[in-house]
Homo-oligomer: A and B are copies of this chain.
């Protein structure tokens, strides 16, 4: 399902993204000129592993999950993208082949830029290349973080970590709303949904109260030591 043009709200989101925010206004306009927009139901697949992709994507709203498939059909999330995030960039420099499947994890709206056009621009204007490098490096760091966390932390520790990463720096007690279903969080943390549930249980004695999607932290100190 396609919408033809960007709304001004969409433009605002894009302008604040890691990618566009580093570019001169003229460059931004040159790119946005032929940007298309598509809407997706939950569970829609945007592209699949190995498939050729000739676009680069931005999440305007909703949530897009990148995952790999195992031989047995099991899925492993390798990234989750939210409003403002750019994805599919790596493919531009890897033979235009997707390294993972992309699926809307909730109803989502996505902007698309032809990657041919973008790589052409990157070859002409170095600030475009620079912006791409920053996006790609940032995403690389995220993946590395994920890998290290998987290897170093237990389930409750990963959850504690995730919660702390949402803590306004310095406050001892706070609360926030999960930006997606627990299901998705479980995937992002590399856990089965049951394991996430249990992890929350284990964190309760340390002052973590979960009510629906709202997480309340009563004792930041305890979390950091978990």
Q: Residues of A with Cβ closer than 8 Å to B? A: 68, 70, 74, 76-78, 89-90, 92-94, 99-100, 122-126, 129-130, 132-134, 136-141, 143-148, 150-153, 190
Per CB-CB distance, the 7 closest pairs between chain A and chain B, nearest first, are: A129-B129, A76-B151, A70-B152, A68-B148, A93-B137, A140-B140, A90-B137
The docked-state distance in angstroms from the alpha carbon of A92 to that of B133 is: 9
Residues of B within 8 A of A138 (CB): 93-94
The docked-state distance in angstroms from the alpha carbon of A45 to that of B125 is: 37
Residues of B within 8 A of A125 (CB): 126
CB distance from A115 to the nearest CB of B (A): 12
User: Are B150 and A70 in contact, CB atoms less than 8 angstroms apart?
Assistant: no
Residues of B within 8 A of A143 (CB): 140, 143-144, 147
A129 CB contact (under 8 Å) in B68, B74, B126, B147: B126
Residues of B within 8 A of A122 (CB): 126, 129-130, 133
User: Are A76 and B141 in contact, CB atoms less than 8 angstroms apart?
Assistant: no
User: Are A136 and B140 in contact, CB atoms less than 8 angstroms apart?
Assistant: yes
Residues of B within 8 A of A151 (CB): 76-77, 150, 190
CB distance from A193 to the nearest CB of B (A): 14
Residues of B within 8 A of A99 (CB): 141, 144-145
User: Are A68 and B152 in contact, CB atoms less than 8 angstroms apart?
Assistant: yes
CB distance from A64 to the nearest CB of B (A): 15
The docked-state distance in angstroms from the alpha carbon of A141 to that of B120 is: 22
